[in-house]
Amino acid sequence: MDRLQKVMAEAGVASRRKCEQFIAEGRVKVNGTTITELGYKVDPTRDDIEVDGKKIEKERTVYYLLNKPTGVITSVSDPQKRKTVIDLMKGVKERIYPVGRLDYDTSGLLLLTNDGDFANHIAHPSHELDKVYEATVKGRIAEPALEQLRRGVRLEDGMTAPALAEFIRYQKKNDTSMIHLTIHEGRNRQVRRMCEAVGHHVVQLRRIRLAFLTLEGTVEGTYRLLTPSEVNRLRSM
């Protein structure tokens, strides 16, 4: 059993807040009875739900992997009219939303779905799914700084959990170092702040892996469906 507004939103009627408004206005019926109670629970597999006299059909659940470019907002909409990740999902009919977020100036792997339970499972830090970032930082990063990242660094919102930090290469021409950083948490701009804390400004950042998922098979700005086996594997982790 789920709240009526949640079922309506997952069926693509409107946002959950808008669905709550429809209910309060008396525009929704369940099994022929008008419902105005926001906490009313329904069984979407059995109950007939109508909005303005039109029966709603539950959307199929879908799971996408997007290779997000920089300069795109991880949001369903943006009041400033900037491009969002939803704008990149051409041809997707379901009402999907991003799982977690990538910053405007961060690229790479992002999941989108219309399955709320799945999204909560993936995004919750207690499940400790690996998030691997490829960071290009200013200057030659030395072993003491990498070791500090591995132990955890103190940020304004507290100590970070220990991370895996791997040096990849140094480019003398640009005076930049590339590292791979694996974290489990999801704090705002965490990788950038961690690198700043050890004295290195991030000039480019890309998420290259989430759990066992990689960007293989996609180019920047494109997406693919997750396979049923990938979805099941993620659920079991």
Q: 3-state class of 199 per DSSP?
A: coil
Q: Tell me phi and psi for residue 135, to 5 degrees.
A: -115, 130
Q: Are 142 and 167 in contact (CB under 8 A)?
A: no
Residue linked to tokens 């041809």: 91
Q: How far is CA 48 from the centre of its chain?
A: 31
Q: How many residues does the chain have?
A: 237
* Strand ranges for the chain from DSSP E: 2-3, 28-30, 33-34, 41-42, 49-51, 54-55, 63-68, 97-99, 107-113, 131-138, 154-155, 158-159, 164-171, 176-183, 202-210, 213-214, 223-225
Amino acid at 65: L
Residue of 103, 105, 115, 157 marked active site: 103
Which of 119, 127, 121, 70 minimizes the C-alpha distance to 98? 119
Give catalytic status of residue 103 as yes or no.
Answer: yes
Active site residues: 103
